[in-house]
Chain A
Amino acid sequence: MPSATISVTVSDALGSTATGTTTVTAGGLTTINVGETAILTTLDNGNGNLLAAQPIVLTQDGTPQTLSFYANPVGGQLRLGIYSGNVPAILQAQTAAFTPVLGWNTQPVLTQPLLPAGNYWLAYLPASNTLGFRKADTGGTSYFKSPVTFGALPASFPSAPSTTTSHWSFYVTLAVTPPPPNVPIGIGLSSVSVPKPPNANTVVGAVNVTDSDGGVYPGQLVLGGTDAAKFSLTNGGRLPCSLVVGSTDIPVGNYSINLTAN
């Protein structure tokens, strides 16, 4: 992983100096956004001193870096945070109070705990009813409690909250450990049917492989299954390749094959 050594020199008016160093490391991690990253269309406001929390699911462990909230119009201050639990329960991280600007507001969290994969809640607490935001009613369940005095978010989500089907333009950016490269995590065919008659060498469909690092899967695909002998893979089974009917015509019917990425 790339790293750099930072040197700091401090001097005083009498000419004495002191030097310190520290090392910063980059890489080994990547970031993902979890939550609502779209600018939703329904206007919402009037949530001054109301603590609301919308659900997210982390499918892998991650460390929160920033919280982003869309505001329009602006008014008063805002605090953002993350609660854990199957319902919002325990505060995991929060931002400092800040004065939102029009549009997306991205704020660093004050602490960066490692959040295991699981259920979490993005929470916001406006100080003013004037602050506006965007929402959608999608049938999911968000929780809110009012009044909650504006300030640091409570360590435990207030008891007996109300529920709403709304969620807001609001997401968290987390640092996560990227998966190892070149691991096939999905295999598919662009088509699983061929027009009659399925003559020899007719293309069934293009093979697609989802690679763990988002690149082109470099490995080889192997054809198996009950009817493997009736089909073949072009390009020696390396992408880009297609599944084709073999060298012999086959009758109309259903055939079972497996595709394996080694």
Chain B
Amino acid sequence: MSSATIVVNVSDAAGASASSQVVVTTDVVSITSIVVTPANAPAGTNRTLTVVATSSSGSALSAAATSAGITFTPVAGQPAGTFVWNFTF
């Protein structure tokens, strides 16, 4: 979600004026790190997916991981903005 600050200025011929201002927080979500360990290992190896993300607005984040045929099990207790899953591939 992204928006600009809008200022509306209204004036009349006599110089009187009124203004209105709208401010909406600019909000950008970024993934700063996405790592699988081990990345190269035998088929059937238990692996860990770690993702770190931020929101410029500081609002709460949620995340989901997908890949065909793979079941991801979330690991609880991570710091804010960090998501960890276990999976086998």
- Which residues of A approach B to under 8 Å, CB–CB? 2, 4-31, 63, 65, 112, 175
Contact = CB atoms under 8 A, between A and B. Distances in A.
Given A16-B1, A24-B36, A31-B42, A8 B65 contact: yes
B53 A22 contact: no
B30 A18 contact: yes
B38 A65 contact: yes
Nearest to B81: A10
B20 interface: no
A184 B57 CA distance: 64
Contacts of A22: 34-36, 49
Interface of B: 1, 25, 27-31, 34-36, 38-45, 47, 49, 51, 53, 55, 57, 59-70, 83, 89
Given A10-B53, A11-B62, A17-B29, A28 B40 contact: yes
Q: Which A-B residue pairs are the 4 nearest by beta carbons?
A: A20-B31, A26-B43, A13-B59, A12-B55
A62 B39 CA distance: 15
A135 B39 CA distance: 35
Given A9-B63, A26-B41, A27-B43, A4 B57 contact: no
Nearest to A20: B31
B79 to A, nearest CB: 14
Contact of B89 (A4, A9, A28): A4
A191 B69 CA distance: 50
B65 A7 contact: yes
Given A4-B69, A15-B1, A16-B1, A10 B42 contact: no
A63 B39 CA distance: 12
Nearest to A6: B67
A18 B38 contact: no
B51 A20 contact: yes
A24 B47 contact: yes
B45 A26 contact: yes
A17 B55 CA distance: 9
Contacts of B60: 12-13
Given A12-B55, A12-B61, A6 B49 contact: yes
Contacts of A29: 40-42
Given A12-B61, A31-B42, A65-B45, 9 more contacts: A7-B66, A10-B61, A10-B62, A12-B55, A13-B61, A14-B25, A18-B30, A24-B47, A28-B40
Given A4-B70, A18-B53, A24-B89, A10 B40 contact: no
A178 to B, nearest CB: 9
Contacts of B59: 12-14
A19 B62 CA distance: 12
